[in-house]
Amino acid sequence: MEIHDLGDGEPEVAVVGAIHGDEPCGARAVERLLDADLDPERPVRLIVANEAALDAGERYLDADLNRAFPGNRDADAHEVRLAAELVDALAGCTTLAIHSTQSYAEPFAVIDSMDEVTRAVAPHLPVDAVIQTDAFTEGRLIEHPHTLEVEAGLQGSDAAADNAYWLARAFLAATGAISAPGADDVVDAGGREDVSVFRLRERIPKPDAEAYEVFARNFERVESGERFAAADGEPLLADDPFYPVLLSPNGYRDQFGYVADRVGTLE
């Protein structure tokens, strides 16, 4: 684990990249933040979490780090030990964890619940949507207080790395660590209340098949009876209306993505 502390005193705000080694956008954002020579108004901690998996170009070595929290320093699995170290490194910090996805090109935020930190920070992030995942957070970093995740874009893309940097800058501005962006910057310093909030309801399982397709678009309503995916050419139809989230033919081994409800906006 690579840790960089900026500013004076014990870190109060943190940005974490490379929880998954096949998602380099967060590590690239940390590098760019370091190159930006920031002079933070609150002490900041920048972390590249799973360096070994990042170097290997693999999601993880022994276990999925984002399913291993709070971890155990005495465990055999590398990521379970690393989870415990990362929890300690983030103690007392309001935290942004940066990820990327195979299912959606634009940034969105992922939260455990709509708490005061989310309400204060999320409106200032350049995201399309906020996903509440309280029923599906076991072992994930966002179970821990004052933590948000962002999905920066398509895994491995330059656009995701650029998005990750601006998401981190917006997060640091929203938490008072750095000054708010100016009018010419990519990030809007003002709050946004029109961002849609979705809550995950259930997983969409994949039947055994050789080939998978998806036809629905993430965050766009699927009506009852509508074809949203196929397995070996056999269509899957919606029993009830829903909003698909993280829907992809390849993102998960045993599921297409999630069924979600649109529960409102950040107002």
In a domain, 180, yes or no: no
- pTM, two decimal places: 0.92
Instruction: Classify strands 13-17 and 44-48 as parallel, antiparallel or unpaired.
Output: parallel
User: In this structure, are 166 and 69 located in the same domain?
Assistant: yes
pLDDT (mean) for 140-157: 94
| Interval 76-119: pLDDT, tens | 999 999 999 999 999 999 999 999 999 999 999 999 988 888 88
In a domain, 181, yes or no: no
Q: Give residue 191's pLDDT.
A: 64
User: In this structure, are 7 and 132 located in the same domain?
Assistant: yes
**Residue ranges making up the domain that contains 224:** 201-260
Question: At residue 193, does pLDDT exceed 80?
Answer: no
Within 8 A by CB and 6+ apart from 20, the residues are 50, 53, 59, 60, 64, 65, 66, 99
Report the side by side order of strands in the sheet with 147-154: 2-6, 44-48, 13-17, 94-101, 147-154, 108-111, 129-132, 196-205, 255-265, 243-245
Q: Give residue 182's pLDDT.
A: 53
Q: Give residue 128's pLDDT.
A: 84
In a domain, 256, yes or no: yes
| Interval 214-259: pLDDT, tens | 999 999 999 999 999 999 999 999 999 999 999 999 888 899 999 9
What percent of the chain has pLDDT above 90? 84
User: In this structure, are 35 and 117 located in the same domain?
Assistant: yes
